[in-house]
Amino acid sequence: MVGIREGGYCAVGFGVIGPVPMVVQAKPNSNNTSKTMDGSQQKVEANILLLGAENVGKSALTVRFLTRRFIGEYGDIESIYNHSDKIDGREISFNIWDSLYPQDCDSVEMVSDKQLQWADGVILVYSICDHASFEVTRRQVQFIRHAKKAFAGVPVVIVGNKRDLQHQRAVSSEEGRLLALSTDCGFFEISAAENYHGVLLVFHELLELIREARALKKGAVGIKGIVRSVSAVFARRRAE
């Protein structure tokens, strides 16, 4: 278990947010589902990590998702937020880690093991007005895809933010889409400033990818189990 000391905004449901200090325990992503109080339905947990260069709108995107609002200015504070929602009749508990881009941006370790171990899914944000931020996203997604086997397959959605600033566009939609295609990621262009719906789609798409990844993992474990028991039977027969 990794303890992270945070200070920042505490978001509760769709209510008002305000600056309060908080301490968050960042758990590794082993837990996926848990029973609700009545024991009848399963609550799904998803740890979502937001990464990207400075000023691309990571906090704006997070706060938009949590509160449906765009407040304009956000502090330079790294925070983990919890937000529960009902999607397709199922309760989802989102833990959202709004990260800070490391000061030492030449660092090879652009994404830490701690972050990847924690995350069930990653949102990589760049600004469509800032080509350098797109290059950061390119390096980050390549870093993730070449990471340790356990982390390399993590579901990722690439997001080109600030779509409202078309006149300042420096990254074409095709560039973004191509990068996503070549690295097996989802892709959206959105404006956290102008539109809540686009932000919602990003989180829902990532949740869908996380569910698929979990189902695949379960399937793989199931098949491994069957292969193991069949081999055990044959080994026993050979021994008899």
Residues that bind ligand GTP (CB under 6 A): 52, 54-60, 72-74, 76, 100-101, 161-162, 164-165, 191-193
**Which residues are registered as beta bridge partners of 193?**
none
**Coil vs helix vs strand at 102:** coil
Return the number of the residue (12 or 165) whose C-beta is nearest ligand GTP. Answer: 165
For the bound state, the minimum distance from the C-beta of residue 228 to ligand GTP, rounded and expressed in Å, comes to 46
For the bound state, the minimum distance from the C-beta of residue 177 to ligand GTP, rounded and expressed in Å, comes to 19
**Which residues are registered as beta bridge partners of 191?**
none
Return the number of the residue (76 or 113) whose C-beta is nearest ligand GTP. Answer: 76
Return the number of the residue (56 or 180) whose C-beta is nearest ligand GTP. Answer: 56
For the bound state, the minimum distance from the C-beta of residue 140 to ligand GTP, rounded and expressed in Å, comes to 13
Return the number of the residue (45 or 137) whose C-beta is nearest ligand GTP. Answer: 137
Q: Nearest CA to 184 among 160, 213, 163, 162?
A: 213
CB 185 within 8 A of CB 156: yes
Q: Cα(233)–Cα(87) distance, rounded to whole angstroms?
A: 43
Q: Nearest CA to 161 among 68, 57, 66, 232?
A: 57
Residue whose beta carbon is closest to ligand GTP: 57
Strand 42-52 relative to strand 90-98, pairing? parallel
Close Cβ partners of 197 (under 8 Å, ≥ 6 residues apart): none
Return the number of the residue (112 or 182) whose C-beta is nearest ligand GTP. Answer: 112
For the bound state, the minimum distance from the C-beta of residue 147 to ligand GTP, rounded and expressed in Å, comes to 22
For the bound state, the minimum distance from the C-beta of residue 40 to ligand GTP, rounded and expressed in Å, comes to 39
